[in-house]
Amino acid sequence: MMHGRAIQRRHVDPDAVERIDGVHPVLRRVYAARGIRRADELDMELGRLAPPAALSGLDAAVPVLADAVRDGQRILIVGDFDADGASSCALAMLALQDMGAAAVDFLVPNRFEFGYGLSPEIVTEALKRSPDVVVTVDNGISSVDGVAAAREAGVRVVVTDHHLPPEALPAADALVNPNLPGDAFPSKHLAGVGVIFYVLAALRQHLRDAGWFTGRAEPRMADYLDLVALGTVADVVPLDRNNRVLVEQGLRRIRAARCRPGIRALLEIAGRAPDACTASDLGFAVGPRLNAAGRLDDMAVGIQCLLATTVSAANQHAQRLEALNRRRQDIEARMEAEAVSAVDTLSRSLETEQGLPSAICVADSGWHQGVVGIVASRLKERFHRPVIAFAPVGDGELKGSGRSVDGLHMRDALEQVATSAPGLIHRFGGHAAAAGLSLDETRLDAFRARFQAVVDERLGRSNLGGVCLTDGPLAPAELNMEVARAIRTGGPWGQAFPEPRFDGVFEVVGARVVGDRHLKLRLLPEGGRTAVDAIAFRAVDAGWGDDLSGYVRVAYRLDVNTWRQRESLQLVVEQLQQGV
């Protein structure tokens, strides 16, 4: 739940609204506010996907993989330890096997032992399996030393990645990344799973043209789109037109019970209905349970869940992931409480009118390195400032995970710190919204001061209030299940194509605390006759309680609440302001 942010309505071009026909009137203005100008831009059929041809590097990657398939060579997939990496790894394993590859295996670095990417240490582990070809998924574009080590050992390397490339690229046999300089692929926001999907689609076409599938079953690439949807949503990449098609097609397969047993098992254990699955279910239910394995244990657990071929095996893996996720939640709650306490102490210690600094850096010797990113995200939401949370990793080193706000590119900010103070940061990487780094614990205060100075320079204090963007008001008559269902099926919604959020004035006619932290409300819309149910998550943390009364202005999402197989309308409150 968001507090202290000004509610601001998105601009809508009336002419654009008029041109979008054939959809619910509320959705017309929602789509127009997201840049849709014609109804045909909402066509989510597979034929609307950008063709693979423009993706550079395929002409080098496909022959290497085709030879490996035809000659029965050993292929090793090296993945990343998040949900995108797990989805990418499972997709590569399944599709290569379905195309006839005789020996395919996977290896995922344990973040606590090896860190991220195709490092020389991971290559040493990989060589124990005697691979002929290593294929990286969702990593590798920065792995100069690791690729060199593999090539020196006589192993061919195909790098598939989507992260921004460094100036010095690895000397792999093939590099496939839509963000490489000069790449003409129209969708620059593919997740790692999207990149390997395109590589494998091109490989299948190559093998088909070569007659490889004569007398053998040819796989349908559409059958893997449940995995593509999962990785794309979980990695929070912008949902441009191409990604929306990939996600929507995957969701349709999940809803039609044509998905991996592991995805269905994770949805069910999270209490989500697979036949009504939305992008938010993948992002907030399946993704975190997969990520819990990479954060606390070994992402191989998550990959095995996605690879499971039977319901019973999938359920067993899902139960283990559920236990890890509950443990992750407990650790996160403790760390967040400690971090908030530390920030509150800092705030009280500042004897200036400005209050909190424009950037927050927190650390604790008892924190878990696998959860600092979530803590940073929670603090960013609460205080609307760039946040970096640190945990010890041994030998006097701290590992930090940062989350940023609009207006500050986190990775660029860290690069400025590193340039202005050489040697202060050991390693760093990331993108605009999130980044990671490591440094000596004795240098934390020095880093905090440098980072603070960079944020002050780049962002200033004027941008710290933040805004809560909405799609305007809904009339009392529009607060109904028809509109809620139209919105639910009108996506997929996600990063850069946000789920509709509305605002309005309501009278509080009922309020009670549920689950210790949340507020259950009955709200009567201004000018309306019927109150509606609402839930304000984490409202108690922000100081709201069951004594809330009078008129309030809220920003909210329309939600279809399912309880004991019965559906009802519910507003999910994301911003609440009294005194209207």
Residue 462 confidence (pLDDT): 58
Query: Which uninterrupted H or E stretch holds 366?
Result: none
* pLDDT higher than 60, residue 1: no
* pLDDT higher than 60, residue 456: yes
Candidates 383, 381, 404, 407; CA nearest to 460 is: 407
How far CA 260 is from CA of 90, 256, 402, in Å, comes to 10, 12, 33
Q: What is the mean pLDDT of residues 532-547?
A: 87
Tell me which range, 286-290, 332-336, 365-369, 563-567, is most confidently predicted by mean pLDDT: 286-290
DSSP conformation letters of 398-418:
EEEEEE--TT--HHHHHHHHH
Q: What confidence tier does 115 reach under pLDDT thresholds 50, 70, 90?
A: low
Q: What confidence tier does 352 reach under pLDDT thresholds 50, 70, 90?
A: very low
Tell which CATH architecture fits domain 350-458: Roll (3.10)
* pLDDT higher than 80, residue 579: no
Q: Are 139 and 243 in contact (CB under 8 A)?
A: no
DSSP conformation letters of 430-444:
E-SSEEEEEEEGGGH
Backbone angles phi, psi at 482, to 5 degrees: -60, -45
Q: What confidence tier does 353 reach under pLDDT thresholds 50, 70, 90?
A: very low
pTM score of the predicted model = 0.90
* pLDDT higher than 60, residue 297: yes
Q: What is the mean pLDDT of residues 3-13?
A: 81
* pLDDT higher than 60, residue 481: yes
Q: What is the mean pLDDT of residues 256-264?
A: 97
Residue 2 confidence (pLDDT): 41
Q: What is the mean pLDDT of residues 318-341?
A: 89
* pLDDT higher than 50, residue 135: yes
Q: Are 254 and 277 in contact (CB under 8 A)?
A: yes
User: What whole-number percentage of the chain has pLDDT above 90?
Assistant: 68
Tokens of 536: 């304000």
Q: What is the pLDDT of residues 25-62, one digit of tens each?
A: 999 999 999 999 988 899 999 999 999 999 999 999 99
Residue 207: which residues within 8 A CB-CB, separation 6 or more? 66, 69, 70, 99, 100, 213
Question: How long, in residues, is the chain?
Answer: 580
Name the residue ranges covered by the structural domains of the chain: 6-10+468-578, 47-323, 350-458
Q: Are 156 and 126 in contact (CB under 8 A)?
A: no
Residue 224 confidence (pLDDT): 98
- Shared fold status for 6-10+468-578 and 47-323: no
Residue 563 confidence (pLDDT): 74
Q: What is the mean pLDDT of residues 194-213?
A: 98
Q: Taken in order 425, 414, 237, 192, is the CA torsion positive or negative? A: negative
Q: Where are the beta strands (DSSP E) in 405-547?
A: 427-430, 434-440, 467-470, 502-514, 518-525, 532-536
Tell me which range, 114-128, 155-169, 381-395, 551-565, is most confidently predicted by mean pLDDT: 155-169
Q: What is the mean pLDDT of residues 280-288?
A: 95
Is 197 or 110 the better-scoring residue by pLDDT?
Answer: 197
Q: What is the mean pLDDT of residues 264-281?
A: 95
* pLDDT higher than 80, residue 430: no
d(CA 464, CA 52): 41
User: What whole-number percentage of the chain has pLDDT above 70?
Assistant: 95
Ranking 71-75, 287-291, 404-408, 512-516 by mean pLDDT, the lowest is: 404-408
Q: What is the mean pLDDT of residues 483-507?
A: 94
Would you tell me which CATH number, out of the four given (1.20.1250.20, 3.50.50.60, 3.90.1640.30, 3.30.70.360), belongs to the domain 47-323?
3.90.1640.30
How far CA 67 is from CA of 80, 104, 371, 436, in Å, comes to 25, 14, 41, 37
What mean pLDDT, rounded, does the chain reach? Answer: 91
Q: What is the mean pLDDT of residues 373-381?
A: 85
Amino acid at 307: L
Candidates 117, 29, 50; CA nearest to 501 is: 29
How far CA 513 is from CA of 293, 384, 510, 537, 569, in Å, comes to 32, 25, 11, 10, 19
Does the structural domain 6-10+468-578 have CATH classification 2.40.50.460? yes
Q: What is the pLDDT of residues 72-102, one digit of tens each?
A: 999 999 998 889 999 999 999 999 999 999 9
Query: Which uninterrupted H or E stretch holds 301?
Result: helix 300-307
